[in-house]
Amino acid sequence: MQQAHLGNSIKNDMWITNEEEETTPDVLPELPGFHVLVRPVSVKEKTKGGIIIPNSTKEDMSYLTTIGKVIKVGELAYNDTDKFSKGPWCTLGDYVCYAKHAGQKIQYKNVKMLLLYDDQVIMKVQDPKYLDPTFNLSN
């Protein structure tokens, strides 16, 4: 299988904001059809112990943890009972994973977001910190 040339496109890991907590606008755009609007979760700049994470490691972490918070779900999302016989994969406020080059990148009211199709959500996680390679269960 041949991989498509992406040219100068921006990768999802480059789109993720470095700010810890970014506010979501009160009024969000209307979503067409089967779309889910996601705000990418940031990658840490340093570990709990204060060690600064190098850019190359952050890129690897971004690749492994392409995750965002669902901030809006379109009215037709997850209505296809043939695809989603057990109901929706995610709802408002859930943390979801998506493929590295999935979705349409947008910036709305200075907030970076991804517009995904409902079937581009590949899994839901309880908390994004569980996907962080520096996360320690004993803490």
Token couple for 8: 């100068």
- Is 60 domain-assigned? yes
- Is 50 domain-assigned? yes
- Identify the domain containing residue 76 by its residue range: 12-16+31-122
Q: Which carries the bigger pLDDT value, residue 82 or residue 59?
A: 82
- Per DSSP, helices labelled H in 9-122 are 12-15, 55-64
- Is 129 domain-assigned? no
- Is 39 domain-assigned? yes
Instruction: Categorize the per-residue pLDDT at 37 as very low, low, confident or very high, splitting at 50, 70 and 90.
Output: very high
- Is 81 domain-assigned? yes
- Is 139 domain-assigned? no
CA 29 centroid distance within chain = 18
Per-residue pLDDT tens over the stretch 67-122: 889 999 998 888 888 888 888 888 999 999 998 888 888 888 888 888 999 999 99
Residue owning tokens 């200075």: 110
Give pLDDT, residue 24.
Answer: 75
Give pLDDT, residue 133.
Answer: 60
Q: At residue 128, what is the residue type? A: P
Map residue 98 onto helix, strand or coil: strand
Token couple for 104: 């349409």
Q: What is the mean pLDDT of residues 45-74?
A: 75
- Is 90 domain-assigned? yes
Residue 62 maps to which CATH number? Answer: 2.30.33.40
Residues with Cβ within 8 Å of 61's Cβ and at least 6 positions away in sequence, in order, are: 43, 44, 53, 132, 133
Length of the chain, please?
A: 139
CA 125 centroid distance within chain = 11
Neighbours of 89 (CB within 10 A): 19
What are the two backbone dihedrals, phi and then psi, of residue 98, each rounded to the nearest 5 degrees? -145, 160
Number of domains in the chain: 1
Give pLDDT, residue 101.
Answer: 82
- Is 62 domain-assigned? yes
Q: Which helix (H) or strand (E) holds 67?
A: strand 67-73
